[in-house]
Amino acid sequence: MLDYNLAEKGELSLYEYLYRRIRDDIVSGVLEADDRLPSKRSLAQHLGVSLVTVEGAYAQLVAEGYVRARARSGYFVNALPGLPVRTALVQRSATALPSGVVAPAEAIPKASEDSGELARLWSRALRDALANEPESELFSPAPPQGLWRLRAAIADYLCQTRGMEVDPSCVVVGAGAQTLDNMIVQLLGHELTYGVEDPGYPRLTRLYRANGVKVVHVGLDGEGVRMDEVGAACPDVMHLMPSHQFPTGRVTSIARRYELLGWACAEAGSRWIIEDDYDCEFRLAGRPVPALASIDATGSVIYTNTFSKGLGAALRLAYMVLPGQLMERYGTELGFYSTTVSSVQQVALARLLESGAYERHVARMRKRYRELRDEFADVLAKSGLADRVRMEEADSGLHFVLAVGTSLSEEELVARVAGPGLSPMPLSSCACLPKNRTAPDGLARLVVQYGSLDSEAISAFGAELSRALA
């Protein structure tokens, strides 16, 4: 029977502690593939915790692919492709880790009550910084990688919300994700082949092509990017959105994560993964799957993230975390680049992170997105379309996929339902290769970005959809 000392849980909830201990036992091999976990009821009795606590921990393990549930026979440990694992991750079971954070969003927040709140928060942050910080900090040029203070605040934030151990000296701040992506090409090399997910984020393909490098497209299955296609396309670099793939919303399973790390580590030093964690803060249900960067033992993962989702796209501020050997190369080859973010903005953001105001703000946004999503589900349920329409991947903020049974094409459907308040995108428009443009189940799929909507727009959309499918 699994035996954990609950007194060691620290500040974690019982559910979270239990989930982490079992996960760590799987990762470290204490629990092996196909081992059967104790039944929920018996483990609850054994540990003296409520059944709900165990249920929550098991559900999370299933969601992340560590464990599978078999009807009427219980829970079994999944096989994880073998890979050296950072000991830090294994040992760091009950220390400060993810609080209530989680997954994704692509929509640029548009003018709405929501963007009003972003504006007030950022405006206040700038005014506070101007009023309270010394001129020498606000108006002296920041170092190429960004102010140490901001990099340290980002490292802390990643530790608290994402469970990542990050050295601030490996953080590089830049004026938006694209600026950093361009820098990554210069760092890794123009002679490499860059792989992107398909369907994916079409601008990424354009960015790599503008850099004059070869781009290949790799299809997806239910667990993430297809390894057979990775093998066939032979990229040197895979640019992935494992937390919440855009546009499909899919979460890369833990097994697939290890396969990807295994792929990279088979040619360590010449194969790389760019982990684009753009909306990890807006997971609405369940816990986030560990970042690839946090379980990368060979230094093959470049982690990138942005503050555009949390603070709006008008603020150009993103960052990357480089593995050690690339950090050295950055210093030697790209250290001549000046930072692309003004010192004032770096200080203002550092203050928001240090005070916890940013995390509170994200929690408020998450709550609002959850309400909007639930409202959406409600409207669809009441529309009488429940048998023809399904919300997919709706556990992450700001966008979900709406699967629709219809003879209309995705483009035709969009043309009928798009209104001034809400204009979904055909999922197929995000695919580059023809074979990735149609789903095997024949359903039409729309990408719905709902972060800046209100109740009225959601009702109107429901009505349009009913008309279109009538």
Q: Which residues pair with 69 in a beta bridge?
A: 75
CB count within 10 Å of CB 358 equals 23
- Which of 243, 245, 304, 340 lies at the binding interface for a second copy (CB under 8 A)? 340
The site that binds a second copy (CB under 8 A) totals a number of residues, namely: 53
Among 36, 41, 206, 382, binds a second copy (CB under 8 A): 206
Binding to a second copy (CB under 8 A) within 95-134 occurs at: 108, 111, 115-116, 118-120, 122-123, 126-127, 130
Of 293 and 302, the one with the shorter C-beta distance to a second copy is 302
DSSP structural state of residue 36: B
If the CB atoms of residues 191 and 441 are measured against a second copy, the closer one turns out to be 191
Determine phi and psi for 96, rounding to 5 degrees.
Answer: -50, 120
Helices 357-382 and 455-469 pack at an angle, to 10 degrees, of 30
Near a second copy by CB under 8 A: residue from 36, 41, 203, 382? 203
DSSP secondary structure string for all residues of 151-172: HHHHHHHHHHHH-----GGGEE
Q: With left for phi above 0 and alpha for psi between -120 and 50, is residue 356 left, alpha or beta?
A: left
Chain residues 341-360 in contact with a second copy, contact rule CB under 8 A: 341-345
- Taking CB under 8 A as the criterion, the residue among 141, 222, 434, 440 binding a second copy is 141
> Which of 2, 62, 90, 138 lies at the binding interface for a second copy (CB under 8 A)?
138
CB nearer to a second copy: pick between 66 and 201 = 201
Q: Decide whether 127 or 467 has the Cβ nearer to a second copy.
A: 127
Peptide bond connecting 199 to the previous residue in cis, omega within 30 degrees of 0: yes
CB of 1 to a second copy, least distance (A): 54
DSSP reduced 3-state for 140: coil
The minimum distance between CB 190 and a second copy, in angstroms, equals 4
Shortest CB 434 distance to a second copy, Å? 22
Beta bridge partners of 303: 275, 321
Read off the DSSP letter of residue 338.
Answer: P
- Choose which of 50, 132, 140, 355 interacts with a second copy (CB under 8 A): 140
Q: Provide the minimum distance between the beta carbon of 343 and a second copy in the complex, in angstroms, as a whole number.
A: 4
Report, in Å, the least distance between residue 108 CB and a second copy: 6
Name which of residues 298 to 337 contact a second copy (CB under 8 A).
312-317, 333-334, 336-337
Q: Which is nearer to a second copy, 186 or 409 (CB)?
A: 186
CB of 198 to a second copy, least distance (A): 17
Of the candidates 3, 113, 135, 456, which one interacts with a second copy according to CB under 8 A? 135
Helix (H) or strand (E) holding 326: helix 324-329
Which tokens is 420 given?
């001034």
Per-residue binding string, a second copy, 147-166, x by CB under 8 A, is --------------------
3-state secondary structure of 321: strand
* 252 interacts with a second copy by CB under 8 A: no
Question: Which listed residue (1, 338, 420, 442) binds a second copy by CB under 8 A?
Answer: 338
Our finding on whether 53 is near a second copy (CB under 8 A) is no
Q: Report the residue number, 245 or 343, with the smaller CB distance to a second copy.
A: 343
- Nearest to a second copy of 183, 251 (CB atom): 183
The nearer residue to a second copy, 6 or 192, going by C-beta atoms, is 192
The piece of 20-28, 175-183, 233-241, 385-393 that touches a second copy (CB under 8 A) is: 175-183
Contacting residues toward a second copy, per CB under 8 A: 108, 111, 115-116, 118-120, 122-123, 126-127, 130, 135-136, 138-142, 175-176, 178-179, 182, 186, 189-191, 202-203, 206-207, 210-212, 312-317, 333-334, 336-345
